[in-house]
Structure 1
Amino acid sequence: MASAALSETCHPAQPLMVWLRLGHVVSVGASMELDTHSSALACLGVGVDEPFTVRPDGYPDITARSFLFRARERHKVVRSAGRLLFCYFDPTSARMTRSLGGMRRNVFGFGIDHHREAELIELCNHPRLDVDRVLELASVPGITVRDQRIALAANIIRADPASRYRAAQLAAEVGLSQAYFLRLFAEQTGTSFRRYVQWARMLRAAHGYLSGHDATRCAIDAGFSTPSHYTDVFHRMFGFTPTHLARMDARLHIDDRYDRSTTTPVTIRSQ
């Protein structure tokens, strides 16, 4: 199932490229032509080659070069030609507010025309996509954990995401009250404790693909109770399923560390 990595390029001839990290996802490629759906993550969409048209549930179509998809709002991309850049990010932090502040216009309550859209488009036409710069321009900062107690808790989760973690247990282990631990954890990691565990499990499942394991083993090894549980959580987060990604022959670049100097690529293919 895994194969050697292609260049991290946005060239139209390349398959869908996906960069999966703790707290956010970046993808570049053709539209997946999904049905009307919603996801648990907010998403900035940018038409790399030309504008695209979105049909928010209950509203007229909106055509724009960039569009901020709000978490848990049903929508469908009804027309897109060329490549689309999507930056998914967790809405449980200030990231959503910062990205919303970067939209220059409001149509029916939806933000369009990101003020850095031209720079984002230019990045996608470089031979190698600078994902960190994309996230910076999209107002999605990388994770910076300054408190060593939170860093320790985060390391424990990432080292063994399949464990059944309880906030009270980890708070006591790092010497904090549960209430302060949860608040500080969200501030430092950019997401809630519960969502961080889900992200860690998603990354572990993706690493399972790199090892050539089937979907069932990947799901169980990552801590999901069943493969269907994994699929349900994946769908709630992103609005599509792992199977849908497999049909696209997506090139998935996994990075579950704070050091962004390297990533581990793997191709997700249908079974």
Structure 2
Amino acid sequence: MGPSLELDVHFGAVSCLAVGVDKEFTVQPEDGPRHVVRTALVAARVRHRITAGEGSRMAFCYLDPASARERACRRLTSGTAALATDHEHEREPVSRAALLDPDTPVRDVRRWLDLVGEDGLPGERDPRVRQATGRLSEPSGQRLSATEPAADVGLSVSAFLRLFRAETGTTLRRYRMWTRMVRMATLLEKWPD
């Protein structure tokens, strides 16, 4: 949570929920119309730009595309698969985002995340993709080529990669990058200064 980074057109490896803490912001897909909103869920690999205005605070929540939380957040917003806006319970996540800072206890951050979209909801994700994302999230997962998880679930590499992209909205390579960032964040949280 903090000031908007005012990035130019870009895309993320995973879905991102953007929350305008102080006021509405503008989100515009590269090839689409501008939307003035308080909340927006931008899917992985969708080229877009967010403009918040000077001094306006934003909260960005990056969601694992294989998670129940991402699917729950998607169900609570309206729009397209690429860009969904207007979170159903928008008021509470927006007001609570204003209270987040680097010293916020993890339990309070988790409460905020549950407002965004509860984790642990029954998933509709293909079990083969769930198995693959679980394996890719393990420490040894960074060394896996697409051949191994494809063989594990009984698919050709090309069929597996198509299924993975269809189910997660991102590529296997980008998902690996995401799991690497999550693993590093976990290690940094555990290591003393």
Q: Same fold (TM over 0.5)?
A: yes
CA contact (8 A) 1:132 1:142 kept: no
2:47 counterpart letter in structure 1: R
Residues 138-158 of structure 1, C-alpha deviation per residue, up to 9 Å, x if partnerless? 2262699xxxxx69x749x63
**Alignment map for 1:197-208 (pairs within 5 Å):** 197-203=176-182, 207=184
Q: Tell me, yes or no, if structure 1 residue 158 matches structure 2 residue 138.
A: yes
**Alignment map for 1:143-222 (pairs within 5 Å):** 154=135, 158-160=138-140, 163=143, 165-166=144-145, 169=148, 178-179=154-155, 197-203=176-182, 207=184
Provide the C-alpha distance between the structure 2 equivalents of 1:103 and 1:139, rounded to a whole number of angstroms.
10
Structure 2, unaligned runs of 5 or more: 124-130
3-state SS, counterpart of residue 2 of structure 2: strand
Correspondence for 1:91 among 53, 65, 78: 65
CA contact (8 A) 2:20 2:52 kept: no
Q: Post-superposition shift, 1:196?
A: 5.3
Q: Tell me, yes or no, if structure 1 residue 82 matches structure 2 residue 56.
A: yes
CA contact (8 A) 2:14 2:175 kept: no
Higher gyration radius (CA): 1
TM-score under structure 1 length normalisation: 0.47
3-state SS, counterpart of residue 263 of structure 1: helix
How many pairs align?
Answer: 173
CA contact (8 A) 2:68 2:119 kept: no
Structure 1, unaligned runs of 5 or more: 1-27, 145-149, 208-253, 257-261
1:202 counterpart letter in structure 2: M
Provide the C-alpha distance between the structure 2 equivalents of 1:265 and 1:118, rounded to a whole number of angstroms.
35
CA contact (8 A) 1:92 1:192 kept: no
Provide the C-alpha distance between the structure 2 equivalents of 1:68 and 1:85, rounded to a whole number of angstroms.
12
Provide the C-alpha distance between the structure 2 equivalents of 1:113 and 1:154, rounded to a whole number of angstroms.
34
Structure with the bigger percentage of helix: 2
Q: Go from structure 1 to structure 2 and tell me whether the alpha carbon gap of 1:66 and 1:265 turns closer, same or farther (over 3 Å shift).
A: farther
1:35 counterpart letter in structure 2: D
Q: Percent of aligned pairs with the same residue?
A: 33
Provide the C-alpha distance between the structure 2 equivalents of 1:31 and 1:178, rounded to a whole number of angstroms.
44
Q: What residue in structure 1 maps to residue 186 of structure 2?
A: 255
Q: What residue in structure 1 maps to residue 4 of structure 2?
A: 31
Q: What residue in structure 2 maps to residue 215 of structure 1?
A: none
Q: What residue in structure 2 maps to residue 246 of structure 1?
A: none
Q: Go from structure 1 to structure 2 and tell me whether the alpha carbon gap of 1:59 and 1:154 turns closer, same or farther (over 3 Å shift).
A: closer
Provide the C-alpha distance between the structure 1 equivalents of 2:153 and 2:28, rounded to a whole number of angstroms.
45
CA contact (8 A) 2:29 2:49 kept: yes
Q: What residue in structure 2 maps to residue 137 of structure 1?
A: 115
TM-score under structure 2 length normalisation: 0.62
